[in-house]
Amino acid sequence: MQIKRYEVSSIQEAMNKIRMDLGEEAVILSTKRLRGGKVPLFEVTAARDEKEKKVDSHKPRETHKSGSQRVSASAEMDMIRNDLMEMKSLIRDIKREDPIRKELSQLREYMNNLMNVLGHWEKNLFPGLPSQIYYHLVANGISPERAYRLVNTIAKLDNFEDICKSLENTITSSIPVTEGRKKRGVIAFVGPTGVGKTTTLAKLAARYSMNERLSVGLISADTYRIAAADQLKTYAKIMGLPIKVVSEKGEFKEALSSFSDRDLIMVDTPGKSRKDQGYIEKLRDFLSVGVPVETNLLLSLTASRENMLEAASRFDMVNYDNIIFTKVDEATGLGSMYDVIDEVGKPVSYLTVGQNVPDDIEDANPGRIARLIMHQS
């Protein structure tokens, strides 16, 4: 075996040198980013197996050519994988201090997906058209496991568009949505910080009170942060709706009975960090007031799939009835909705699609959700 080491400023430069020195049969043994220096520098080690070359040279020309292409493709794959590893470790290093943690974790998840795709690619799980569909689904944010499962359900069709259409129908029939909008009673909005609870409540309050002419009362239980309730108070004032601010369960019960003449009572709850021990238990206890409370869990699609799944499982304890996906307009990788819906099994009640109150909200519709999952729009 002939082994050579190169110091290069780009992976492409390494590939060119390796091809020239060692030929197409060469394989990459390792790539390493050298630290220090003003320009990026990589150390690439490549090798060529002399024995294999001799044997190959006796094979017919055509076979030898396709063998070389395969080795070269696998060498490039090694390069890509090493690059991704390198990027992942760099991200891990800076993640500890960096304020843009969320974006980095999304980037890391994206790279994990890529790694998975490369893994499946190498194993050649789906040759031909199904593999294109598989990459399409994973690139859209569906987890590799669920993409694999979906690809296994596809009918024997022979073009990409037809297969996508058929998968879209399969997904449409698997999306549960809330049947019949609530016109009376108590509706609460729960979820992680900043997902859009207060804004979504305001959009729906406007819709119910103005379009459907229902009498609506608002309750803000968000007294954790200074002036947190002011946001909802402002909306209430604009819409001419009564509002009560409550900080504990007794006050909440009183507020509910003072609104007993109202068709609909909408309750805003505070978002709290997941590090806040006991918060979900307190929330569950707070919402157990002896009257049915329809609870909506809000999940922002700008969060990673893992974050959404983690939040869905954390809020399980409050036994929420519906999911509202927020920030459709800002998110990429909307396929992650498929994982959440499939995992959680609760109906989706609304999608929110922007910051404008009251317009940027839509009733959940299975066909629309399936299109977002498959085509992102």
Ligand X SMILES: Nc1nc2c(ncn2[C@@H]2O[C@H](COP(=O)(O)OP(=O)(O)OP(=O)(O)O)[C@@H](O)[C@H]2O)c(=O)[nH]1
Task: Rank residues 27 and 201 by Cβ distance to ligand X and give the closer one.
Answer: 201
Q: Minimum Å distance from CB 269 to ligand X?
A: 8
Secondary element (H or E) of residue 189: strand 185-190
Alpha-carbon Rg for the chain, nearest whole angstrom, is 27
Q: Answer with the entry of Mg ion, ligand X, none that 352 interacts with (C-beta below 5 to 8 A by kind).
A: ligand X
Task: Rank residues 48 and 327 by Cβ distance to ligand X and give the closer one.
Answer: 327
Q: Answer with the entry of ligand X, Mg ion, none that 89 interacts with (C-beta below 5 to 8 A by kind).
A: none
Residue 295 as a binder of Mg ion (CB under 5 A): the answer is no
Residues 20-59, one symbol each (x = binds Mg ion by CB under 5 A, - = not), give: ----------------------------------------
Q: Answer with the entry of Mg ion, ligand X, none that 122 interacts with (C-beta below 5 to 8 A by kind).
A: none
Beta bridge partners of 216: 264
Taking contact as CB under 5 A, which single stretch among the options 6-14, 92-100, 182-190, 191-199 is the one that binds Mg ion? 191-199
Distance, in Å, from the CA atom of 86 to the CA atom of 283, rounded to the nearest integer, reads: 42
C-alpha closest to that of 262 among 192, 336, 205: 205
Nearest residue (beta carbon) to Mg ion: 198
Backbone angles phi, psi at 336, to 5 degrees: -60, -25
Note every long-range contact of 19-27, with CB atoms under 8 Å and residues 24 or more positions apart, other chains counting. Answer: 19/72, 22/46, 22/47, 22/48, 23/48, 23/53, 23/68, 24/68, 24/69, 24/71, 24/72, 25/49, 25/52, 25/53, 25/56, 25/68, 25/71, 26/71, 26/72, 26/75, 27/71, 27/74, 27/75, 27/78
Backbone angles phi, psi at 117, to 5 degrees: -60, -45
Q: Answer with the entry of Mg ion, ligand X, none that 194 interacts with (C-beta below 5 to 8 A by kind).
A: ligand X
Task: Rank residues 144 and 194 by Cβ distance to ligand X and give the closer one.
Answer: 194
Q: Minimum Å distance from CB 272 to Mg ion?
A: 11
- The position carrying tokens 């959009």 is 203
Tokens of 77: 């794959």
Task: Rank residues 113 and 199 by Cβ distance to ligand X and give the closer one.
Answer: 199
Q: Minimum Å distance from CB 350 to ligand X?
A: 10
Buried b (16+ CB within 10 A) or exposed e, 257-280: eebeebbbbbbbbbbbeeeeeebb
Nearest residue (beta carbon) to ligand X: 271
Task: Rank residues 196 and 333 by Cβ distance to ligand X and give the closer one.
Answer: 196
DSSP, res 208: I
Task: Rank residues 204 and 255 by Cβ distance to ligand X and give the closer one.
Answer: 204
Q: Minimum Å distance from CB 368 to ligand X?
A: 15
Cis? peptide before 144, omega within 30° of 0: no
Q: Which residues bind ligand X (CB under 6 A)?
A: 193-199, 222, 270-271, 326-327, 329-330, 352-355, 360
Taking contact as CB under 5 A, which single stretch among the options 73-81, 192-200, 207-215, 315-323 is the one that binds Mg ion? 192-200
Q: Answer with the entry of Mg ion, ligand X, none that 326 interacts with (C-beta below 5 to 8 A by kind).
A: ligand X
Taking contact as CB under 5 A, which single stretch among the options 136-144, 197-205, 287-295, 336-344 is the one that binds Mg ion? 197-205
Out of 31, 113, 140, 198, the residue judged to bind Mg ion by CB under 5 A: 198
Q: Minimum Å distance from CB 179 to ligand X?
A: 23
Q: Minimum Å distance from CB 204 to ligand X?
A: 12
Distance, in Å, from the CA atom of 154 to the CA atom of 159, rounded to the nearest integer, reads: 12
Q: Minimum Å distance from CB 196 to ligand X?
A: 3
Beta bridge partners of 219: 244, 267
- List residues near Mg ion by CB under 5 A: 197-198
